[in-house]
Amino acid sequence: MCEILTLGEPMALFLANQKGELDKIEEFTKLVAGAEVNFAIGMARLGHEVAYITKLGEDPFGKYINRFLLENNIDTRYVNYDAGHFTGFQLKSKVEVGDPEVFYFRRHSAASHLHTEDVSDILWDKVKHLHLTGIPPALSSTCREVSYKLMAAAREKGISISFDTNLRPQLWKSKEEMVSVINDLAFRSDLVLPGVNEGKILTGSDDPNQIADFYLKEGVSTVVIKLGEKGAFVKTQDTSFEVQGFKVEKVVDTVGAGDGFAVGVVSGLRAGLSLKDAVVRANAIGALVVMFPGDNDGLPNSRQLESYLQTQLGQQV
């Protein structure tokens, strides 16, 4: 059974072993990165069955990523291979403060050549939730068509949909195209998860209340806006509230925190938690992620998450 379905581009990640500019680094550690990979791993570690849709090159990176997915208990039945294009990869710097420098090698990657026929055999009767982000639609027109096709199928079958806006301006032809497509996809979702800075780009306002209303008026059920260390603002058709973030003494790397946040909200709701408790869980996972250097090594299993919440709040998950 596949409870959760997601779509994305997994990439090999070379993380600098020393601080400094990327062109001056001599040694890197090889890892796996990708927003949807992070989401899939986080959900799997919390006991959910997750299938990942992508296309890999028939190259060492593709083999490495497929093995990594399997080792993290992710269903790879919808992973296809492309002999004519390579698997994407990226370099990431090591920093003491702030966001690291990330350099991508992903143009014309295997994943960008995903087509609608690659998702023609989805076993939808097993799927309970679809999670998408704004990254695949930016990769190519065919990836965009896949995102729309998956959303349409999920909507037709009554499957809940979450959408993390995850803006990547450098992948789009223009800001106008990015805003138009991302918002159109968000309007087709049940749960939208923008960051407050993304909300400013997408709606023209950095007021969380106004950002939420922008999507709610189009029929979205729930909007959860990420406010970084401050926590999150939540609004539905019936209510609104803020959830305070967790204090982190030392932030090691911020990449992946938003993906961990999405894991917390979706897994919490799937587990039957209230929306507020699901967002508390999301803030907790986001805090745990930024304590680690890799994109997904800080994602907790159920025991680790429960221990952290008990320590921070004195409560059970």
Angle, helix 141-156 to helix 175-187, in steps of 10 degrees: 10
**Tokens in use for 116?**
């609608």
Q: Does the annotation count 259 as an active-site position?
A: yes
The 10 Å Cβ neighbour count of residue 234 is 22
In sign, the C-alpha dihedral spanning 183, 12, 123, 108 is positive
Q: What is Dmax (Cα atoms) for the chain? A: 54
* Dist. CA 165–CA 59, nearest whole Å: 30
What is the sign, positive or negative, of the torsion defined by CA atoms of 252, 253, 256, 261?
positive
Look at the chain and count its residues.
317
187, 158 Cβ separation under 8 angstroms: no
* Contact call for residues 131 and 4 (beta carbons, < 8 A): yes
Sign of the torsion angle spanned by Cα atoms 170, 218, 264, 44: negative
Catalytic residue chosen out of the listed positions 75, 118, 190, 259: 259
Secondary structure class of 296 (helix, strand, coil):
coil
What are the phi and psi torsion angles at 42 (to 5°)? Answer: -60, -45
Closest CA to 25 of 91, 77, 73: 91
φ/ψ (deg, to 5) at 89: -150, 170
Residue with tokens 């639609």: 137
CA 107 to chain centre: 20
Active site residues: 259
